[in-house]
Amino acid sequence: MKVIIEWSYRTPKGTETVFHSHEMNAAHAMLIAEDLEKTGRTKSLKFIDRHENTWTVKQMKSYLKEIVTEPHNITVYFDGGFDLTTRASGLGCVIYYDQNGKSYRLRHNASVLELTSNNEAEYAALHLCIKELENLNVHHLPVRIIGDSRVVINHLTEEWPAIEENLYTWADRIEAKMKTLGITPEYELVSRKGNTEADRLATQALNGIEITATTEIL
């Protein structure tokens, strides 16, 4: 989870002002907050997440303690490819997460035949990622979701309407699954160059190369 620190500072003579930090990882924010409190000049301090929720130091400590053994700080990359000649689709999924003080990267792809377009393959790739999050037992956490599909990202952020019925069905299925898991999505549209890992996995799936691997990031 990304947060901003807001703290009220008081000088020895009683002059007060309020400062805001840049956005940072919650664990890093906690370290800074604890250091600020040691100065003895912090009148009040709170954390603000991307959804404008506020957290006290006590609440943030409790949250960080609860999630340490579970996957957290999760970033998902998805990509789908569609071959007009073979009518096959390749789905690519990359998930970065932290757990037990270590960082991991999960890569998974799949080849499917029942889809009808590249846009549908993009949705199917994101759905594949959500199923992987479920397998990791991810629940009640914010998740950063990154892709290069304007259709998918703009549909799910409600910037564009989902006109095609099959795409609407995929969007509904994805949102229902995330609601069940308690996942709060934070969507980000990137260029294809910024999505190379998921794109490579989708291409490999189209070429009959299946990959499922989780590695520790050192």
Which CATH number is 200's domain given?
A: 3.30.420.10
- pLDDT by residue (tens digit) across 46-103? 999 988 889 999 999 998 888 889 999 999 999 999 999 999 999 999 999 999 989 9
- 3-state class of 211 per DSSP? coil
Q: How many domains does the chain have?
A: 2
Residues 138, 41 within the same domain: no
Tokens 């999630």 identify what position? 67
Could you tell me if 46 and 54 are in contact, meaning their C-beta atoms sit under 8 angstroms apart?
yes
Lowest mean pLDDT among 49-53, 109-113, 125-129: 49-53
Segment 9-16 shows an average pLDDT of 84
Q: What is the pLDDT of residue 67?
A: 85
Do both 189 and 82 map to the same domain? yes
Are 119 and 206 within one domain? yes
14 and 108 fall within a common domain: no
Structural domain ending residue among the three candidates 24, 41, 67: 67
Q: How confident is the model at residue 104 (pLDDT cuts 50, 70, 90)?
A: very high
Edge to edge, what strands does the sheet with 212-217 contain?
184-189, 142-147, 72-83, 88-99, 102-112, 212-217
116 or 10, which is more confident?
A: 116
Percentage of the chain exceeding pLDDT 70: 100
Domain range for residue 155? 72-217
